[in-house]
Chain A
Amino acid sequence: MKLPSGISMVLPRKFAGFIPLFIGVELVLAVAILNKAGGAYGILSLLTGHPIDFWQWLWNMSCIVSLPVYISALSNLMTRFKNVRKMSLVCLVYTFDTVFGLVYTLYFSWFWFHHEAGSSDQSSGSHRRGMAVPPGDYKDEVSSSSTQSQSASPAHELFLTVSATVVVTVVRAYFNLVVVSFTRQLLKQYGHDEVVADDEQTLFQNKGVVARVRRTVFEIEVRSRDILLDLFS
């Protein structure tokens, strides 16, 4: 299977129009890592007892799984041999993640507007959620009509939320194109080079669980490279 030749028309050659692509990829991966760290904090609900549904649990798990992929690629971005196959895996994972994330954004938007936003309007969060708030913290203040204009109107809040969600989604799609473009150029130049780095010569000799995991990851990365070489050829 091959990608249509027109795809190269939409792939950026510079990040944001003037920054070298590799700096853009550094930023994209760093942002991805920051975002995926949310999964690790979310899964702590298992310890704190905060209720989450199956879809939230699945989302958190997907974040935790993709986190090491991005960390590994960022830390090896400048490392010869490794960066080609690691970026190949990132390219596939990030693209899948973009689509998966878009679906989840839609689901979570529905979740917010149907559950959270409406229910929180009426009662104090500390009472509703049984939060441990010190007695001195709670105040029964309600804004007076003279100061209510200082608070954003519901329409303003809605505009902020929707526009920010759209901007984040568009930026994420652009980031995806940056990753694809960089990986494509990397594969063009070094796609058929050696895949094993100098410090990985012992990868296939060592035994044990860690070595097996590393070999499996290595094989997935090489397979990703082969898939992308086929797609970009």
Chain B
Amino acid sequence: MSLLRSKIVQKPYQLFHYYFLSEQAPDSSLANLSFETDISITINKFKNHRWKRNEIAHYGFLSSVILFVFFIFPASFLIKLPILSVFGLCFLVPLTSQFFLHALPVFSWLALFFTCGKIPEEWKPAISVKFLPAMETILYGDNLSNVLATITTPTLDILAWLPYGLVHFVFPFVVAALIFVFGPPTALNSFGFAFGYLNLVGVLIQICLPAAAPWYKNLYGLQPANYSMSGSPGGLGRIDDILGFDMYTTAFSNSPMIFGAFPSLHSACAIMDVLFLSWLFPSLTVAWWGYGCWLWWSTMYLTHHYFFDLTSGALLSISVFTYTKYVHLPVMDRTKFCRWSYTEIPKVNINQMNPLTFNFNNDYVYNDLENQQPDILLSNPYQQSSSSSSGQPQSSLGIELENYSRSRQSSKVFLPQASGLPTIEDEETSSFDNSATTSVFDEVEQLSTIHFNTSLEDYDKRKPKKH
């Protein structure tokens, strides 16, 4: 308790409250997380849940992947069963299930990726060594990987290593954090869905169509391959030489997916990050795509992928993102600062967007929100008071930054004193306000306890039928 009341905890909380939580309207708990730990709540939700066909397909598919991994992984059942039980428990505890449920595609992908090396060789399809270089030459006129790797220098090596060997592994976490903080509530769920399925489908294709990367052609020409061959770090081997220690050579030599060049999941993940970032911060779209181009160059320079792999991975990303955007992802409100600013979660209206049928709007999102503005202002006294006090015209481009400063200014008034700040313990007991889980169970109409009469559900019931 004393730790929670200490300055080390209270000061960051104050700052967090000042910049983010103060954006929240008093009557809205849409952005809150659940701190419940009672598993009976989840069990009751499960019992009362009406399963839709797409949910059955979704959970059925992911469960079969997890089960496949469970049986294929070469370890004793005495070890595997407890691990699976703990994993299952995370889906029962509301506090953890709100994250785990939406991250299930990601977990399925990771489980399959790290286990695919254990799949018996007789089950695996034949390895193709000519398919990718042939497709690259036929569709793009040359082996672009060789074009870019003709000249190698230590400076270029470092420049290629940064996005491929470092940023790529960190970026998804950064993007997820940014989406959680600055995107509307439930947006992170969509990112988990898109990112997980993207990689899962990618790994399944890699297993079904094993193909050799450019480094293989550089080492062995187009000679036949086999599963007993070691992998190669390609150009990353030079990074090990520069750094003076084995960072990649051993890891890539023992990779569980040595012949998994097609499609490139480096490209797929990077493009998915880029698409979500462009959706979240559209004014920086050019910079995000610059990162995508940089990573593409590095994968070819390091002889890890053909250009055909990169476009295939990117195509997979764009397809999954497009589906997610039109089916799951909420509309990004440019007038809102962060997730706590939202009082409702509008979804994309395809008919309204369609250039062949709509009442033309230059910026459908903005115009849609403009129409909603009176409602938003009425339900958000923070913004209402600040808007009226600023006296500045609301231009389409300026509104974003103006609102940031205005809402922050006004939120200062509502900043509670340090002594009055709720502690973590207080929040845990305040289950009614902090139960905005967005799991698949949220569509349950009749709930057995008041704790899960969540804010999102409240929202669903009271939201006007706009579309």
Residues of A that sit less than 8 Å from B by CB: 20-23, 26-27, 30-31, 34-35, 37-38, 41-42, 44-45, 47-50, 52, 55-56, 59-60, 77-80, 83, 104-105, 108-109, 111-112, 116-117, 120-126, 128-129, 131-134, 136-139, 141-144, 147-154, 156-157, 160-161, 164-165, 168, 182, 185-186, 189, 197-198
Number of A-B contacts (CB under 8 A): 220
Q: How distant is the Cα of A148 from the Cα of B220 in the complex, in angstroms?
A: 14
Q: How distant is the Cα of A23 from the Cα of B348 in the complex, in angstroms?
A: 13
Q: Is the CB of B356 within 8 A of A134?
A: no
Q: Is the CB of A147 within 8 A of B355?
A: no
**Apart from A142-B220, A198-B362: 4 A-B pairs, beta carbons within 8 A:** A20-B350, A42-B140, A47-B151, A125-B219
Residues of B within 8 A of A121 (CB): 221-223
Residue-wise interface mask of B (131-154) relative to A, using a CB-CB cutoff of 8 A (1 in contact, 0 not): 101110111111110111111100
Q: Is the CB of B362 within 8 A of A137?
A: no
Q: Is the CB of B131 within 8 A of A161?
A: yes
A37 touching B293 in the complex, CB below 8 Å, given contacts A126-B218, A134-B237:
yes
Size band of the interface chain B makes with A: 35 or more
Q: Is the CB of A150 within 8 A of B218?
A: no
B121, B152, B354: which contacts A22 (Cβ < 8 A)? B354
Q: Is the CB of A143 within 8 A of B138?
A: no
Select the stretch in B224-232, B330-338, B411-419 that faces chain A. B224-232
Q: Is the CB of B144 within 8 A of A42?
A: yes
Residues of A within 8 A of B127 (CB): 150-152
A48 touching B151 in the complex, CB below 8 Å, given contacts A42-B144, A112-B137, A182-B356:
yes
Distance of B53 from chain A, by nearest CB (Å): 16
Distance of A59 from chain B, by nearest CB (Å): 5
- Which of chain A's residues has its CB closest to B292's CB? A37
Q: How distant is the Cα of A160 from the Cα of B131 in the complex, in angstroms?
A: 7
A165 touching B135 in the complex, CB below 8 Å, given contacts A133-B219, A152-B129:
yes
- Say yes or no: is B124 at the interface (Cβ < 8 Å to chain A): yes
Distance of B375 from chain A, by nearest CB (Å): 24
Q: A interface, by DSSP: helix, strand, loop or mixed? A: helix
- Which of chain B's residues has its CB closest to A199's CB? B362
Residues of A within 8 A of B311 (CB): 31, 34-35, 37-38
For the complex of A and B, list the 6 residue pairs with the smallest distance between their C-beta atoms, beginning with the closest: A151-B224, A147-B226, A80-B360, A152-B126, A48-B150, A150-B226
Most buried by A among B141, B144, B225, B249: B141
A38 touching B218 in the complex, CB below 8 Å, given contacts A108-B137, A117-B134:
no
Q: Is the CB of B364 within 8 A of A78?
A: yes
> What are 26 of the A-B contact pairs (CB < 8 Å)?
A23-B322, A23-B326, A38-B144, A42-B147, A45-B147, A48-B151, A49-B150, A50-B142, A52-B147, A105-B139, A108-B137, A122-B221, A124-B218, A125-B220, A129-B150, A131-B146, A131-B218, A133-B218, A137-B234, A143-B224, A144-B226, A149-B126, A152-B127, A153-B126, A154-B130, A186-B356
A150, A182, A185: which contacts B227 (Cβ < 8 A)? A150
- Which of chain A's residues has its CB closest to B228's CB? A147
Q: How distant is the Cα of A69 from the Cα of B164 in the complex, in angstroms?
A: 30
Select the stretch in B101-109, B171-179, B313-321, B423-431 that faces chain A. B313-321
- Say yes or no: is B353 at the interface (Cβ < 8 Å to chain A): yes
Distance of A205 from chain B, by nearest CB (Å): 21
Distance of A195 from chain B, by nearest CB (Å): 14
Residues of B within 8 A of A189 (CB): 356
A108 touching B141 in the complex, CB below 8 Å, given contacts A117-B134, A134-B241, A143-B225:
yes
Q: Is the CB of A41 within 8 A of B300?
A: yes
Q: How distant is the Cα of A132 from the Cα of B319 in the complex, in angstroms?
A: 36
Residues of A within 8 A of B300 (CB): 41
Q: Is the CB of A128 within 8 A of B220?
A: no
Distance of A171 from chain B, by nearest CB (Å): 11
Distance of B327 from chain A, by nearest CB (Å): 11
Residues of A within 8 A of B297 (CB): 41
Residues of A within 8 A of B152 (CB): 132
Q: Is the CB of A49 within 8 A of B151?
A: yes
Q: Is the CB of A41 within 8 A of B221?
A: no
